Amino acid sequence: MIFGITGGIATGKSTVSDMLRARGAVIVDADFWAREVVKPGSEGWEAIRQQFGEEYLRPDGSLDREKLGALVFADEAARKRLNAITHPLIRQKMDEQVRQALSDDPKAIVVMDIPLLIESMVHEGLKRVDKVILVYVPRHIQLQRLMKRNQLNRQEAENRIEAQMPIDEKRKYADYIIDNSGSIEETERQVEQLMDKLRKLVQGER
């Protein structure tokens, strides 16, 4: 059984993933592989250089993620072009990591950390996980946290949030919800309860 964790931008998904990892879950992180597959000289890096041009590279040859991010959040066609390059490469690496984790321990709690998990399920019909964990905060808190974290003005933050499915819409697709709008202790408590459920599911399945 494979679990997926997702959320919206600035909902605290990485924080919850770290809590799960600390309790023994194997986290297969899409953001980690997204960075790996565009390292200088890689297949993904070369495709982005050809598609978008040298101006999206830093002087050391690495991808200028901030500049490219600003483009794709403002231009849906550019976002689709970028995703067509990176998503297949990221999926391949993640699937390899999942197979290795389950080979090492068939009873491992494997959690795929994918920012756009629900969007890919709904819009592309990709069913990559058996159960979906959603890290949730109300939209107004999401907006405040994003503005503070990324030093964005309100409009910039709104643009980034609106590039994703609304967080309240995502609740309909979740099997488990971690409400991260309270204290860190409250989130920790919910994660403890969730891990108990996941362990029972995995033990019962094998």
At residue 206, the pLDDT reads 47
Question: Is residue 92 one of the residues assigned to a domain?
Answer: no
At residue 205, the pLDDT reads 60
Q: Which residues neighbour 6 within 8 Å (Cβ) at sequence distance 6 or greater?
A: 13, 113, 114, 115, 116, 117, 118, 132, 133, 134, 135, 170
Q: What is the CATH number of the domain that holds 6?
A: 3.40.50.300
Q: What is the mean pLDDT of each run of 10 residues along the chain (206 residues)?
A: 95 96 97 94 95 94 92 90 94 95 96 92 84 97 95 93 92 97 97 97 78
Question: Is residue 198 one of the residues assigned to a domain?
Answer: yes
At residue 142, the pLDDT reads 96
Question: Is residue 143 one of the residues assigned to a domain?
Answer: yes
At residue 128, the pLDDT reads 85
Written as one string, the DSSP assignment of the chain is: -EEEEE--TTS-HHHHHHHHHHTT-EEEEHHHHHHHTTSTTSHHHHHHHHHH-GGGB-TTS-B-HHHHHHHHHH-HHHHHHHHHHHHHHHHHHHHHHHHHHHHH-TT--EEEE-TTHHHHHHHH-----SEEEEEE--HHHHHHHHHHHHT--HHHHHHHHHTS--HHHHGGG-SEEEE-SS-HHHHHHHHHHHHHHHHHHHHHH-
Neighbours of 73 (CB within 10 A): 17
Question: What domain range is 170 assigned to?
Answer: 2-25+109-205
pTM attached to this predicted model: 0.85
At residue 60, the pLDDT reads 94
At residue 46, the pLDDT reads 96
Question: Structural domain tally of the chain?
Answer: 1
Question: Is residue 6 one of the residues assigned to a domain?
Answer: yes
At residue 116, the pLDDT reads 86
Question: Is residue 20 one of the residues assigned to a domain?
Answer: yes
Question: Is residue 73 one of the residues assigned to a domain?
Answer: no
Q: Which residues neighbour 140 within 8 Å (Cβ) at sequence distance 6 or greater?
A: none
CA 170 to chain centre: 14
Question: Is residue 69 one of the residues assigned to a domain?
Answer: no
Q: What angle do CA 136, 141, 142 make, to 5 degrees?
A: 65
Question: Is residue 21 one of the residues assigned to a domain?
Answer: yes
At residue 43, the pLDDT reads 95
At residue 186, the pLDDT reads 98
CA 44 to chain centre: 18
